Structure 1
Amino acid sequence: MQIVKPPKIQMDDVPLNRFHIKIAGLTFGAHFIDGYVLGQIGFALTQMTPQMGLSSFWQGMLGSSALIGLFIGSLFLGHISDFIGRQKIFCFSFIIITIGTFSQFFIETPLELFLLRIFIGIGLGGDYSVGHTMLAEISPRKHRGILLGSFSVIWTFGYVAANFLGHYLTYIDPNAWRWLLMSASLPAFIILLLRIGTPESPRWLMKKGRYEEANTIIKKYFGTNVILNDEYSERKAISFFALFSPQYRQRTLFNSLFFICLVIPYFAIYTFLPSILNIMGLNQSFSTDLLLNFILIIGALLGIVLTQTFSRRGFLIYSFIFLAICLGLLSFIPEQQTLVMLMLFAAFTLVLSAVSNLVGVFPAESFPTKMRALGVGFATSMSRLGSAIGTGLLPIAILSFGMQSTMLILTGILASGAIISILWAPETKDLSLVEASDISVP
């Protein structure tokens, strides 16, 4: 009797299995921690400011400190992983995060907290680069959009969790901010333990010529009939400046600029949300926070569906246009029109949260394996640098120019994102990662 061997299938086309879900879960952990770390600082500052006599300068520096670290970590650790491997940075980043978040309990000066949060941000930034890259490199193309887009959902859950815990703890004890800041260390330590022993990316191993190791991992986790044909003829080290070569500079600029245009309004508005709501004439309370946090979660979940249903390019372009219109209208509506303002702000929040799914999808799908971590890391680092600058300057802009002019500036940033996307956004939906070498604007 003749034994029929199962047909060979590409790793891009394997069914979703438990290993995919495991790596996704471990990768999502960084985004939960990121949302949690960025969401908790606003509540911590309300208690720290009178205790430590924080000036406006230090409030701005502490509010943007983790974003500064994210810029550094995304830029350098992602590039390093192209040389030493994804898995090493995958674990090392959470050693940094665990130590940094735990140490926040013991700080005595704002400078100490500022430096610690930069340290934490470096770990988070490195994990952004490597986490997106690892998951993109093992995910089947059919499910890649959902898995990569889910980062935004998990980030939102972390941000909302920090909001709820912050509301609860700040009424218990004047020193509750220490426990709030340190609380991220427990989930970070658990994620670190679970990441130990995870395998290296087979695509990275093949790029380095370690075919036997790569095939062993593929057979163990995906099946004995699974093969991987990828663009591995070029095994020399990739220079950072390759991102700006004629072949890649357009996608480098697109991923960096659309990312920046999307996250500057996000972080600038939601870091200082209580102040903004009060200036706009909307009462800031626990119920208002509850409503907006609920909308953030609904938007993030909706974004997964929209990412999978519509073209990546179309979803991004029309979202930018919608967001710019909403924020522009909010700039001119009188304060007396409270209901209209609230509805517009809710619609803005919903779509902003939904389209934020694409920041985890586009960069990872735009670059070939040989420079994926470098490209993702650079785009992420640029976005966090823009976020840090925008977050730091927002209070100064409101004080100097007023709320209306500040909102119009943010509207201009969103409109710029729409123009950049119309000119340069590629369509990456349903592409294999081999085809990432050949993407172009439709």
Structure 2
Amino acid sequence: MTISSTTEAPGRAGFLRRMTFACAWGEGLDGFDLGLISVVLPSLTIALGLDPVLAGLIGASSLIGIFVGAPLAGWLTDRFGRKRVFTIDVLAFIVLGFAQAFVADGWQLFVVRVLLGIAIGAEYAIGAAMLAEFAPSRDRGRRLSGLLVCWYGGYLVAVVTAYAMIDWAGISWRWVLVVSGVPAIVTAIARIGFPESPRWLLSRGRVDEARAIVAEHLGGDAYFRQEQYAAEEQRSGGYRVLFSKENRQRLAFISLFWACNVAPYFAIFTFAPTVLESLQLRDEATGTIIVNAMAAIGALVGMLTIERIGRRRQLVPPFWIMAGALAVVGLWGSAPGIVVVLCFAVFSFMNAAQGNLTAVYPIEVLPTEVRSTGVGFAAACSRIGAAAGTFLLPVGIDAIGIGPCMLIAAAVCVVGAVLSQVMAPETTGKGLHDTSTQPLRQQAKVPTAR
């Protein structure tokens, strides 16, 4: 997913295109892996004799791993640089992806997928930060949104691939999960040879190295001034700085809105075939593909409109629409199948269009010295909600029924809407230094369409 301009310096467009591709494919690995497991879980339940608790744990395993990996990798990335983690974590993803073929029982698969989640968590902490610290402010939001387009695209491709391998080709679930290693290999190759982030170098006082990288890849002094690189200060990072008074509100905002966005999505779509079957939809495979296709379209639309409508408008209204769609499913227990699929399609579209902001806001509102640490922490917080929802959904369906479960998911969206209305800044078109230093309330003005 690339965005370029004819005004860019020679070589800059190609470098940014390759950087965007390498980061987007890394983000897509997460969606691809979770898409595979959502389709494979019913087969696993039979093949490995899983009870609802272990099935829920395996469904939530990657999310549990992200809870550990994201904050740890974020701290390491801010401490030792972006470049190392950017390369190493995708190599771990390859090894663990192929290791899934050799598990003997449910608990072994759970352990492997938790480790896989740690590698995915590292990607959350580094990928978007790496891209944003090179990208121009005029299309930074669109480039970062492209990461989520790849996430939803990866999820959709994985769902179609898994159904084709299991239902049409009769291939074992083991080899379906191993397929996740293929895009990881592509990502690893794409990441060979990238330089260190100039903003991170500047935060460590390494001005000459930062200027040399900008000159070689981005166009020199003009770009250095235009993107406010000179405003970066040599400052220490770490969790004490992240939780300081000047950053606490920023951290709370990104953690809370992110959790409210992903919790209902992961809970519903990790078990999409089970959910649709519980709602008496006869062809759950087709329904699952349709709603995930709407998510991919929603992410694409969100990417194409984010620089025009602004961050706040893309964040707040979708929460209310998602709440309404899920409330219809929860309250109308005898709804026709077409209504159920339509409601989930609307939810998927809006969730994905809004979900682009989980790759944008965390990067824009946190300063360089704690950017990856903060993104990792917020990703971990979001995965607490996602993992809890994913673990509890199959248990909840069994205990209280699908309707009340959908109403709980709708309530989460309402909480997200209220929090976002109060806390969300407007960062569209602003330099990365300004968005990460100005108080959130001073950035609340919604821009006019451009």
TM-score normalised by the shorter chain: which range applies?
over 0.9
Counterparts in 2 of 1:336 and 1:134: CA distance versus 1, 3 Å: closer
Q: Distance in 1 between matches of 2:31 and 2:335?
A: 33
Give runs of aligned pairs for residues 138-177 of structure 1, distance below 5 A. Answer: 138-171=134-167, 176-177=172-173
Q: Aligned residue for 2:440?
A: 440
Equivalent residues of 2:132, 2:140 under 8 A apart: yes
Per the TM alignment, residue 440 of structure 1 is displaced from its structure 2 partner at its CA by: 1.6
Q: Distance in 2 between matches of 1:334 and 1:56?
A: 23
Matching of residue 76 in structure 1 with residue 72 in structure 2: yes
Moved more, 115-124 or 239-248: 239-248
Matching of residue 346 in structure 1 with residue 345 in structure 2: yes
Equivalent residues of 1:47, 1:175 under 8 A apart: no
Equivalent residues of 2:100, 2:177 under 8 A apart: yes
Give runs of aligned pairs for residues 304-383 of structure 1, distance below 5 A. Answer: 304-383=303-382
Q: Provide, for residues 27-75 of structure 1, a one-character-per-residue CA deviation record: whole Å limited to 9, x for no partner.
A: 1111211111111113322333222212222211111111111111111
Per the TM alignment, residue 172 of structure 1 is displaced from its structure 2 partner at its CA by: 5.8
What SS does structure 2 have at the residue aligned with 1:426?
A: coil
What SS does structure 2 have at the residue aligned with 1:429?
A: coil
Counterparts in 2 of 1:258 and 1:313: CA distance versus 1, 3 Å: same
| Equivalent position to 1:106, from 77, 102, 105 | 102
Q: Aligned residue for 1:257?
A: 256
Q: Distance in 1 between matches of 2:391 and 2:230?
A: 43
Matching of residue 125 in structure 1 with residue 124 in structure 2: no
Q: Aligned residue for 1:4?
A: none
Q: Aligned residue for 1:413?
A: 412
RMSD over aligned CA atoms reads 1.8
| Equivalent position to 2:190, from 188, 194, 200 | 194
Q: Distance in 2 between matches of 1:184 and 1:270?
A: 18
Q: Distance in 1 between matches of 2:233 and 2:286?
A: 58
Q: Distance in 2 between matches of 1:346 and 1:126?
A: 30
Matching of residue 297 in structure 1 with residue 296 in structure 2: yes
Equivalent residues of 2:166, 2:173 under 8 A apart: yes
Counterparts in 2 of 1:225 and 1:243: CA distance versus 1, 3 Å: closer
Per the TM alignment, residue 253 of structure 1 is displaced from its structure 2 partner at its CA by: 0.5
Q: Aligned residue for 2:235?
A: 235
Equivalent residues of 1:58, 1:110 under 8 A apart: yes
**TM-score, normalisation: structure 2:** 0.91
Q: Distance in 2 between matches of 1:91 and 1:74?
A: 15
The amino acid that maps onto 1:425 is A
Q: Quick one: percent identity of the two aligned structures?
A: 34
Moved more, 174-183 or 411-420: 174-183
Q: Aligned residue for 1:29?
A: 25
Structure 2, gaps ≥5 residues long: 1-6, 445-450
Per the TM alignment, residue 241 of structure 1 is displaced from its structure 2 partner at its CA by: 2.9
The amino acid that maps onto 2:204 is K
The amino acid that maps onto 1:190 is V
The amino acid that maps onto 1:437 is T
Structure 1, gaps ≥5 residues long: 1-12
Give runs of aligned pairs for residues 34-113 of structure 1, distance below 5 A. Answer: 34-113=30-109
Q: Provide, for residues 168-221 of structure 1, a one-character-per-residue CA deviation record: whole Å limited to 9, x for no partner.
A: 111367662111111121221232133122100001011111111111111000
Per the TM alignment, residue 342 of structure 1 is displaced from its structure 2 partner at its CA by: 3.2
Moved more, 170-179 or 349-358: 170-179
Per the TM alignment, residue 117 of structure 1 is displaced from its structure 2 partner at its CA by: 1.0
Q: Distance in 1 between matches of 2:339 and 2:171?
A: 39
Q: Distance in 1 between matches of 2:420 and 2:196?
A: 34
Per the TM alignment, residue 287 of structure 1 is displaced from its structure 2 partner at its CA by: 2.8
What SS does structure 1 have at the residue aligned with 2:245?
A: coil
Q: Provide, for residues 2-33 of structure 1, a one-character-per-residue CA deviation record: whole Å limited to 9, x for no partner.
A: xxxxxxxxxxx966611111111001111211
Q: Aligned residue for 1:276?
A: 275
Q: Distance in 2 between matches of 1:188 and 1:206?
A: 31
Q: May I ask how many residue pairs the two structures share in their alignment?
A: 429
What SS does structure 2 have at the residue aligned with 1:303?
A: helix
Equivalent residues of 1:70, 1:381 under 8 A apart: yes
Q: Distance in 2 between matches of 1:197 and 1:321?
A: 44
Moved more, 286-295 or 210-219: 286-295
Q: Provide, for residues 213-238 of structure 1, a one-character-per-residue CA deviation record: whole Å limited to 9, x for no partner.
A: 111111000123332534443433x2
